[in-house]
Structure formats: structure tokens, C-alpha cells
Amino acid sequence: MSKKYSLHSRAGFLSTKTVLFLSLIFSVLFTQNTAVAQDDGIPTDEATISAGEKLFKANCTVCHAVNDKVIGPALRDVHKRRNLAWIQAFVKNSQKVIQSGDDYAVNLYNEYNKTEMTAFDFEDAEIASIVGYLKAESAKEIVVATEETTTTGGDEVASQEPSQFVNIVMIVLLVVLVLILAVLGMIITMLKKYLSQKDDLSEEDREIAEQTFDVGALVKSNAFLGLAAFVFTAIIMKSAIDGIFTIGVQQGYQPDQPIAFSHKIHAGDYKIDCNYCHTGVRKSKNANIPSPNICMNCHSSIKTESPEIQKIYAAIENNEPIEWVRIHNLPDLAYFNHSQHVKVGEIECQTCHGPIEEMDKVSQYAPLTMGWCINCHRETDVNTKGNDYYNKLVAKHAEHSKESMKVEDIGGLECSKCHY
Ligand code: HEC
Ligand code: HEC
Ligand code: HEC
Ligand code: HEC
Ligand code: HEC
Ligand code: HEC
């Protein structure tokens, strides 16, 4: 302010036009200045922004994204909608701000069906770093997300289709064969009729024309009996072998669950990360099924009246676990480790579990047979990038092979790797 006054007093020496012009420029500069002053407190240095990014990803992405509405609003440009102090108060305790009668907060709360945002016990500086991160993100162009996850299951689907395809081709071929036989038969009878009506046939031709095809003799012939016996045993063998290999295979198993939990709503529509509920999947053998407490992070305020949600409350009140029906289940003799595949191998959940985010009710997508594990280990390259542990192995492998290093090359087919 003082700057502006001193400027005007000096301007007295100049012509009025110049004064007007100069004050116009300075008033523009000045208003821009206030904008900067309003931003004061929002950090712009990279270290703080990256600290803010960590906090945001660890605490907020369950309900917020920068560019998309998730459970809460998209936070792009939130620093332009609200000032830092308001955001700090709201993040610390949104209910307090709403109850204070703040119009903006009340409207937003109603717009989001009275979904309570979690209260965070953060320092002002921590919240400022998050806003710094959000501001930096808001300055970036919106990138249209490519739908990678939905296509990753593609290979698996493609590899399952051929067997069905082969069946269809076989059936079509069979039908065509029968048709050809029938048409041939008709042609023969027609030709015979035509020939027998002709008088000027030689003795030899007449013999051929009147020759009858003895079906009975053919059926009794050794060659035919041998062939029939062979086909018959082949069919029996094939179905018996198929049967043996599908004992215990539960592909497609889709039991009812005690609560009508939908992955389509949670992982699909609301894009909640799989790790948020299946907490072990990146760090241990087991993926874990979430405890009711995790559901309560949201359902203490979302859809509280729904009878399905009431079942969660009942489980917590009675201190009983929800009895989810297990779908995927390897026999005890086999060892499978999630983090090895998901974290080290960087395999998408959908490769093995299918499009879970589209399922209202989960079903077992893969056969989970030994052949299924082994096939993938034969076909899949080891993910070696950024993993020093593999550098030596890769160099060794390259000495005697031109092909990329598959899981089988690091021992993925050894019995003891999968069997205790
Ligand atoms: C359980 C879900 C949930 C979590 C977790 C959550 N929020 Fe929210 N947030 C909401 C909802 C819902 C709203 C809309 C207002 C309401 O319903 O209270 C909201 C609103 C906001 C707003 C106001 C947005 C606007 O457009 O004005 C800000 C800012 C905000 N949240 C920041 C955060 C930050 C920062 C975090 C992480 C530290 C966070 N939220 C974590 C659900 C959540
Ligand atoms: C909001 C929590 C939540 C999220 C997010 C979530 N799940 Fe689940 N998941 C569950 C619950 C609860 C069950 C048990 C009930 C059921 O089978 O539907 C389950 C079951 C499963 C099962 C079957 C487990 C069994 O019994 O064999 C698989 C596989 C699975 N989830 C994969 C995923 C994948 C992949 C994602 C991410 C795309 C995901 N989940 C996201 C809560 C969640
Ligand atoms: C990150 C937030 C979040 C978590 C965690 C979460 N849910 Fe949900 N859930 C939602 C949202 C959002 C909806 C959709 C509400 C709507 O349709 O308005 C929903 C809907 C539901 C519904 C449908 C309710 C109805 O009647 O329409 C059920 C059942 C449900 N959730 C069960 C669960 C269970 C069980 C868990 C824990 C394993 C869980 N949810 C964890 C956010 C969450
Ligand atoms: C390489 C294949 C593969 C990948 C990738 C994979 N899973 Fe699994 N998943 C399995 C197998 C096999 C089982 C059965 C394990 C058992 O019975 O011991 C299983 C079981 C589960 C279960 C049931 C509970 C448990 O721990 O046994 C859940 C939940 C689950 N997976 C979630 C996920 C999620 C979430 C991801 C992605 C982050 C994922 N899975 C990635 C193969 C896979
Ligand atoms: C979609 C492909 C895929 C499927 C299906 C799969 N795996 Fe794997 N598996 C991998 C990859 C990739 C690795 C290598 C991970 C790494 O870099 O260490 C691996 C590694 C392993 C290892 C460690 C091997 C070693 O020498 O270190 C074991 C054990 C294993 N898998 C068991 C299983 C079992 C059991 C199943 C079936 C229930 C299975 N896998 C299904 C891709 C798969
Ligand atoms: C990549 C992992 C993997 C490797 C390597 C592997 N197996 Fe298996 N094996 C499995 C899985 C998973 C099952 C369970 C399949 C099922 O239930 O259909 C299984 C099942 C079996 C069974 C059937 C047991 C029963 O009760 O049905 C036998 C026997 C067996 N394996 C022997 C072997 C031998 C011998 C080797 C080494 C040549 C070997 N396996 C290598 C994963 C593997």
C-alpha cells in the first residue's frame, strides 16, 4: 500500500494522461500482487510438494483424485475455490466447518449426500504441503487416462478362446461331412435310376449299375469294426482324462456372500484401489480379505440405513468376523505368493483374477491348476528392470540364449518352488 501512495505523489510531476496510464498499469500489477499475497502460505518448493504428494496419496486418494470426482470432489484448482486457512480447517475437521454454518461447506456436504469426510490430525504445514501438491498438479494439462487395466486380461481371454473355437470348428466340419455324404448318396441313386432306364448299356456297365451296396457286409468287416472300436475308446479316454484334470478345478465358482459386497461399485465405479482393502497383496503371500473396520472408514457415514451395511455394524457390535465365503483356494501342497507376482513380477491382478472391477459378485476366473501356473512361467518374461538382483542372472542367461529370460529360466518349473 505505502508503495502505491508514494508512487502517486511522485506522479504529480507528470502529465495527467501519463498518470492515468501509469496508475492503470500499476493497479493491474497491484491486483496481481494481491492474488500472489492470497496464495501466501501455499508452498512451491519441490521438497514440500513431494512431501505433500506422499501425504495426499496415503490419506486422500481413497476418496479424492485431482481430476476426477471419486467419493469426494475433484481437487483440481481447490486453492482457487477456497483459501488455505479454510482448507486447513476443513481437513482437520470438516464437520466443525459445516456445523459452523459456512455456506460453501454446507452446500458441498449436501451435494455429496452428506458423506462425512474423515477428520485428519494434521499440522497446518502438512495440509499446506498437500495444497502445494494439488496446486502444482492443477497447473498440469489434464491427461486422458488410458484404460490399461481393462485390457490386461486380454491375453488370458484369448488363450482360453481357442479350445472353444476348436470345438465349434469340429462340429461344423462334422455337419458338413454328413451333408456331403447325404448329397453323394442322392447323386448315386439318381445316376443308378438314370442308367437302369437306358437300354443300350453294355453287359459290363449294367453289372456295375445294378451292383447293390451291401451295408451289412461293410459293418461286419474287420476293418470297420477295428475303426469303430478305436474311435469309441478314444472318446472314452479323452473324457476320462479331461475328468481327471478337472477334479478339484473350480473355475467359475461364484458363491453367494453374506453381505452383497460389489467390486463393481467399489473397485469399478468408485475406483478404490485394490490395495486399500487387500492390504497384504504387495507385501505378503496372502492378499487378505478386509476386516469390517476398513469398511467403516467409509460406511460410518455412507449408506448407513442400508440393510446390507447394517450387517457390517452388527459384525462389529458382536465382535464377530464377517464370514466371507472363500473363492480361490489352492490345496495345501502348493505354495503361491502374491507379493512375488504383484510387486516383483508386476503382474496385474486382472491377469489372474479377470475383470474384478466389473463383477458384482466375484467368481474364480482362472483354473488355478498346476498346468496354468506352469504355462505362464514358460511364457512370461521375468520383470528385471530396476532390479539389481537379476542383473547377473540376465548376463548369464544371455551367454547361452538369444531369447528373453522367462520365469522357467530362473527355476519357475522346479517342483520344490511350488511344493512344500
Ligand atoms: C472418506 C472419504 C474422504 C477422505 C479420506 C478425504 N476426503 Fe476430502 N472430501 C470428502 C467428501 C465427501 C467431500 C465433500 C464434502 C463433504 O461431503 O463433507 C470432501 C471435500 C474436500 C474438500 C473441499 C473440496 C472442494 O471442492 O471445495 C477438500 C479441500 C478436501 N476434501 C481435502 C481432503 C484432503 C486433503 C484429504 C486427505 C488428507 C481428504 N480430503 C480426504 C471425502 C473425503
Ligand atoms: C472396498 C474393499 C475392496 C476393494 C477396493 C477390493 N476388494 Fe476384493 N474383496 C473385498 C471383500 C470384502 C471380499 C470378500 C467378498 C467377496 O468375495 O466379494 C473380496 C474378495 C476378492 C477376491 C476373491 C477372494 C476369494 O475368496 O478367493 C478377489 C480375487 C478380489 N477381491 C480381488 C480384488 C481386486 C483385483 C481388486 C481391485 C480391482 C479388489 N479386490 C478391490 C473387498 C475389496
Ligand atoms: C473408500 C470408501 C468405501 C469403503 C472402504 C467401503 N465402501 Fe462400501 N460403498 C462405498 C460407496 C461410495 C458406496 C455406494 C453408495 C451409494 O450407492 O450411494 C458403497 C456401497 C456399498 C454397498 C451397497 C449398499 C446399498 O445398499 O446400496 C455395500 C453392501 C457395501 N458398500 C459394503 C461394503 C463393505 C462390506 C466394505 C468393507 C469390506 C465396504 N463397503 C467398504 C464406499 C466404500
Ligand atoms: C499370478 C496370479 C495372481 C495375481 C497376479 C494375483 N492373484 Fe490373487 N490369487 C491368486 C491365487 C493362485 C490365489 C489362491 C491362493 C491360495 O489359495 O493360496 C489368489 C487369491 C486371492 C485372494 C483370496 C485371499 C488370499 O490371499 O488367498 C484375494 C483377495 C486376491 N487373490 C486378490 C488379489 C489382488 C487384489 C491382486 C492384485 C493386486 C491379485 N490377487 C493378484 C493368483 C493371483
Ligand atoms: C500370469 C503369469 C503367472 C501365473 C499364472 C503364475 N505365475 Fe508364478 N511367477 C510369474 C512370474 C512373472 C514370476 C517371476 C517373479 C520374479 O520376478 O521373481 C513368478 C514366480 C513364481 C515363483 C518363484 C520362482 C522362482 O524361481 O523364484 C513361484 C514359486 C511361483 N511363481 C508360483 C506360482 C504358482 C504356484 C502359480 C499357480 C497357482 C503361479 N506361480 C502362477 C508369473 C506367473
Ligand atoms: C509353478 C508351480 C508348480 C510347479 C513348478 C510344480 N507344481 Fe505341482 N502343483 C502346482 C499346483 C498349483 C497344484 C494344485 C493344482 C490343483 O489343485 O489342481 C499342483 C499339484 C500337483 C500334484 C497333484 C496333487 C493332488 O493331490 O492333486 C502333483 C502330484 C504335483 N503337483 C507334482 C509336481 C511335480 C512332481 C513337480 C515337478 C516336476 C511339480 N508338481 C511342479 C504347482 C506347481
DSSP letter (8 states) at residue 381:
B
CB 192 within 8 A of CB 202: no
Amino acid at 102: D
Annotate 210-238 with DSSP letters as a single string.
Answer: H----HHHHHHSHHHHHHHHHHHHHHHHH
State pLDDT tens for residues 332-367.
899 999 999 999 899 999 999 999 999 999 999 999
Query: What are the cell numbers at 90?
Result: 476443513
State pLDDT tens for residues 108-142.
999 888 888 888 999 999 999 999 999 999 988 76
pLDDT surpasses 60 at 8: no
- Measured by CA distance, the residue closest to atom 9 of ligand 2 is 289
**Per-residue pLDDT band at 22 (split at 50, 70, 90):** very low
Burial class (CB in 10 A: 0-12, 13-18, 19+), 390: middle
Among 38-42, 187-191, 284-288, the range of highest mean pLDDT: 284-288
State pLDDT tens for residues 79-101.
999 999 999 999 999 999 999 99
Q: Would you say the CB of residue 418 lies under 6 angstroms from ligand 6?
A: yes
Alpha-carbon span 246 to 250, nearest angstrom: 8
pLDDT surpasses 60 at 145: no
**Per-residue pLDDT band at 243 (split at 50, 70, 90):** low
**Per-residue pLDDT band at 75 (split at 50, 70, 90):** very high
| Distance of CA 137 from the midpoint of ligand 1 (Å) | 17
pLDDT surpasses 50 at 20: no
Alpha-carbon span 138 to 76, nearest angstrom: 5
Q: Would you say the CB of residue 71 lies under 6 angstroms from ligand 3?
A: yes
Share of the chain above pLDDT 70, in %: 81
Alpha-carbon span 416 to 335, nearest angstrom: 9
State pLDDT tens for residues 34-73.
333 345 689 999 999 999 999 998 888 878 889 888 788 9
pLDDT surpasses 80 at 371: yes
pLDDT at 178 (0 to 100) = 93
Choose which residue among 63, 303, 322, 356 to substitute to test ligand 3 binding: the one with the highest number of ligand atoms within 8 A of its C-beta: 303
The average pLDDT across 407-412 equals 88
pLDDT at 323 (0 to 100) = 92
Distances (CA, A) of 240 to 236, 243, 245, 251, 372: 6, 5, 9, 19, 20
Q: Would you say the CB of residue 86 lies under 6 angstroms from ligand 1?
A: no
**Per-residue pLDDT band at 279 (split at 50, 70, 90):** very high
pLDDT at 215 (0 to 100) = 67
Task: Look at the block and give the residue holding cell 453374506.
Answer: 258
Alpha-carbon span 196 to 207, nearest angstrom: 10
| Distance of CA 239 from the midpoint of ligand 3 (Å) | 44
Element (H, E) at 197: helix 154-197
Q: Does domain 46-145 have CATH number 3.40.1160.10?
A: no
- Please measure the distance between the N-terminal and C-terminal CA atoms of the chain and give it in whole angstroms: 78
Neighbouring residues of 300: CB distance < 8 A, sequence distance ≥ 6:
116
pLDDT surpasses 70 at 152: no
User: What average pLDDT does the structure give for the chain?
Assistant: 81
Provide the 3-class DSSP secondary structure of residue 384: coil
Other Cβ atoms within 10 Å of 56 Cβ, number: 20
Alpha carbon dihedral 83, 89, 93, 99, in 10-degree steps, equals: -80
pLDDT at 160 (0 to 100) = 42
State pLDDT tens for residues 314-334.
999 998 889 999 999 999 899
Q: What are phi and psi of 16, to 5 degrees?
A: -60, -40
Alpha-carbon span 88 to 91, nearest angstrom: 5
CB 355 within 8 A of CB 264: no
